[in-house]
Structure 1
Amino acid sequence: MHRIGFIVPRRFQMMSLAALTVFEIANMPPAGQCYDVHVLSEHGGPVESSGGMKLETEAFGDPTFDTVIVGSITEMKMPSSDATTISFVKDSANASRRIASICSGAFVLAEAGLLDGRRATMHWAHASEFRARFPKVVAEEDRIFINDGPIWTSAGMTAGIDLALALLDSDLGPDAAKMVARLLVMNQRRLGGQKQHSALLDMTPKSDRIELVIAHIRRNLRNPLTVEELADVANLSPRQFSRAFQAETGQSPGKAVEQLRLEAARFMIEQGRHTINVVAQETGFMDRERMRRAFVRTFGVPADVLRRNARREPVAGN
């Protein structure tokens, strides 16, 4: 049985509780009771969320858990944590196997001194303030979650679900994590090394025909994907299509294809299941050198450097 302590801060964000759903589903048959979850606060009793709803909690007590997770609040300017919470977090880090944070919960771990000299992530909107307040932390805001030894940090609220799935994977194995992801109707488990920002967020087409083109690109990245082919999908002439695509997405078809190829290639690179040459072929770059130039132009480093960095990231807490 894995004992989980989830710390609820004052005016917590309800969405940060979504991570607990992962452990709740993992307890369903046939697996049985794998996790014992305790929702904690300084004094116990009801704690009001930022949206006005109240959650019943247990008071801080024995700091010994398998995993302690610090929840998040929605303030854009992060307040300092109270001394009792900081003390409990420190004690928990010493007594428990691992400790984690969701979104702005990273500020609490940093205030407790647990992140000094370690890599950590947080929501991109908090990154500037976090760097200024905690210069000893190696802040990497362009990550979904990061595991540095026994300490895990995640980006926004939904990234807390990805972090919880990674914890579950570490505890019970990939099959259990896949089962929970399926029950949550997640079409993709995001790895920690993935970027918080998706290229698809830059493309918000207003018409079905351009939406169909983007879906066609994603399904056929390994193909040449000429403007003429994409124009046929949209049932427009190449000139009409190029104008419509630029107007609706803010970028040219060629730029959109490259961005989607880069995103897919980076995901495959960080997964580490395929060689660089295979990744280049499968994502339409065709050859390693062409992909290398695109990676350097966009990410500042070639693909093999990203792979080495991903391999250095631990995949399970100590």
Structure 2
Amino acid sequence: MSLTHAGEPLSVGFVLLRRFTMLPFAAFVDCLRLAADEGDRSRQLRCHWVFMTSAGQDAISSCGAAVTPCTAFRDPAEFDYIVVIGGVQDEHDVIDETAIAYLQRTAKAGVPLVGVCTGVFALIQAGLMNGRRCCVSWYHHGDLTRRFPDIEPVADRLFIDDGHLLTCAGGVASADLAAYLVERHLGKAWAMKSLHIMLIDEARRGEHPQPQPVVFDKVEDRLVRRAIAILEQHLGEPLGVDALAERLGTSRRNLERRFREALGVGPRKFARDLRLRYGLWLLHYTAKSVTDIGERCGFSDTAHFSRHFREAFGVTPSAARRAAGEGNGAVVDPFFLHIESRTAPL
């Protein structure tokens, strides 16, 4: 079966698992809906979609909203893709064996499978991810690694196209993946039309990094918050203080003063520390080499990265990775890194 059908309707079957997550499902199907017709009329012209559950019952999402009507599983050959939307994970939940068997049947028929959010867990349970990488949200990385130690999770990108198996971190990245498939089948204009109506500026590619889970709380200065947002978008390409000030429409002197008042450090040191925190996160949750991580975090060479990393965290990058693998709590957990404002009390 060809993965591209220029000019033909794009047909997608959705497998909605128990307590499926609403946002990735809605983002994916709305991208299809908006590409399917002129304007916002929702006729299934260029795209077709069907919602399926194991017995055709209503699909109940994790927030309690129901999707109806659903059908029982249909012949996979009817679809260009089968998209599996996973739900809240509980190891004690009974596995939907009917759904697992359907995924195995789909793979055998050569129809591409798309695991979205925790839908990748179902693909693993179906035995379809052996020897393959799978994209997963940083939030579910630890759970997947613990439950399926033989699977290689990737938590530093939005989605992976691995031929007949595609995996996506979920959330709003589902819209990026849906746009990627719409562009493949119908052309870029239809993908961009959907995204623009959804108020998304442009499609992010699969290799686009997931936002790092670093929280900066109690920063009341709006200028500093805007500066932080810009710096987070340039983790791999250091932005000079002068260039940052220009982007913000202020002077370097004012920017440095506001940073020191709000955070106790200047913007240059803050930006470097932010890149080091991103490096720590990559060491914990990806298999990238120290050299690759240093480059991705905008350091000129590994020695430069390692020296600053040790100054910041008291250990080398290699030691931080070993400690993370051993569950050693002595190394700071990157999920909870934050900087507190000096000016905003709780």
TM-score by length of 2: 0.66
Give 1:244 deviation, angstroms.
2.2
Secondary structure at 1:36's aligned position in 2? Answer: strand
Map of 2:314 onto structure 1: none
State the partner residue of 2:263: 246
Q: Does the aligned pair in 2 maintain the 1:209–1:234 contact within 8 Å?
A: no
Structure 1 position 199, deviation (Å)? 8.2
The one-letter code matched in structure 1 to 2:21 is Q
- Tell me the equivalent position of 2:108: 94
SS of residue matched to 1:85: helix
1:108 and 2:126 are equivalent in the alignment: no
Q: Given residue 39 of structure 1, which amino acid in structure 2 is its aligned partner?
A: F
Question: SS of 2:52's equivalent?
Answer: strand
Q: Which residue of 2 aligns with 1:34?
A: 46
Distance change >3 Å, CA 113–CA 252, structure 1 → 2: farther
User: Amino acid of the residue matched to residue 165 of structure 2?
Assistant: I
Unaligned runs of 5+ in 1: 264-279, 301-318
Match of 2:64 among 52, 65, 77: 52
Could you tell me how far 1:8 is from its partner in structure 2?
Answer: 0.8
Paired residue total? 275
Distance 1:125 1:213, change over 3 A: closer
- Counterpart CA distance in 1 for 2:261 and 2:145 is 41
Decide whether the 8 Å contact of 1:199 with 1:260 is kept in 2.
no
One-letter identity of the residue aligned with 2:38: P
Q: Which deviates further from its counterpart, 114-123 or 179-188?
A: 179-188
Deviation at 1:139, TM superposition (A): 1.3
Structure 1 residue 294 displacement after superposition: 6.9
Map of 1:290 onto structure 2: 300
Kept in 1: contact 2:55–2:73 (CA 8 A): yes
Aligned positions of 1:232-243 closer than 5 A: 233=250, 240-243=257-260
> Can you list the C-alpha shifts for 1:49-81, whole angstroms capped at 9, x where unaligned?
222222111011322221000012133657452
1:17 offset after TM fit, Å? 1.8
Q: Which moved more, 1:104-113 or 1:7-16?
A: 7-16
Amino acid at match of 1:50: S
Give the whole-Å Cα distance in 1 for the aligned partners of 2:189 and 2:301.
Answer: 32
Question: What SS is found at the alignment partner of 1:126?
Answer: helix
From 164, 167, 173, the equivalent of 1:150 is: 164
**Cα deviations by residue, 1:111-147 (Å, 9 ceiling, x for unpaired):** 1111111110112222222123323322112221111
- Paired position in structure 2 for 1:303: none
* Correspondence for 2:33: 24
- Corresponding position of 2:312: none
Shift of 1:44: 0.5
Q: Does 1:126 align with 2:134?
A: no
Aligned twin of 1:137: 151
Structure 1 residues 163, 79: closer, same or farther in 2, change over 3 A?
A: farther
Note if contact 1:213-1:233 (Cα within 8 Å) is conserved in structure 2: no
What TM-score results when the alignment is normalised by the length of structure 1?
0.71
Instruction: State which drifts further: 124-133 or 209-218.
Output: 209-218
Give 1:70-85 correspondences, 5 Å limit. 70-75=84-89, 79=93, 81-85=95-99
Task: Report the equivalent of 1:8.
Answer: 16
CA distance in structure 2 between the partners assigned to 1:228 and 1:149 by the alignment: 40
Aligned to 1:268: none
By how many angstroms is 1:291 displaced? Answer: 7.4
Unaligned residue ranges in structure 2 (runs of 5+): 1-8, 279-294, 310-316, 318-346
* Cα distance in 1, alignment partners of residues 155 and 227 from structure 2: 31
Distance 1:143 1:229, change over 3 A: closer
Distance 1:294 1:160, change over 3 A: farther
Q: Is the 8 A contact 2:257 2:266 kept in 1?
A: no
Q: Does 1:160 align with 2:149?
A: no
Q: Which residue of 2 aligns with 1:174?
A: 188
User: Which residue of structure 2 aligns with residue 225 of structure 1?
Assistant: 241
How far, CA to CA, are the matches of 1:218 and 1:100 in structure 2? Answer: 29
Among 162, 186, 201, the residue aligned to 1:187: 201
The code of the aligned residue for 2:222 comes to D
Report the AA paired with residue 94 of structure 1.
K
Paired with 1:42 and 1:167, the residues of 2 have a C-alpha distance of 25
Q: Is the 8 A contact 2:241 2:267 kept in 1?
A: no
- Residue 190 of structure 1 and its aligned partner are, at CA, apart by 2.0
1:142-187 CA-partner distances (Å, limit 9, x unpaired): 2211111211111132222222112222222333222221121113
Structure 2 equivalent of residue 311 of structure 1: none
Deviation at 1:45, TM superposition (A): 3.0
Q: 1:190 to 1:294 in 2, by over 3 A?
A: farther
Q: Percent identity?
A: 25
C-alpha contact 2:117 2:169 (8 A) present in aligned 1: yes
Q: Residues 121 and 144 of structure 2 are in contact (CA less than 8 Å); yes or no, is this contact kept in structure 1?
A: yes
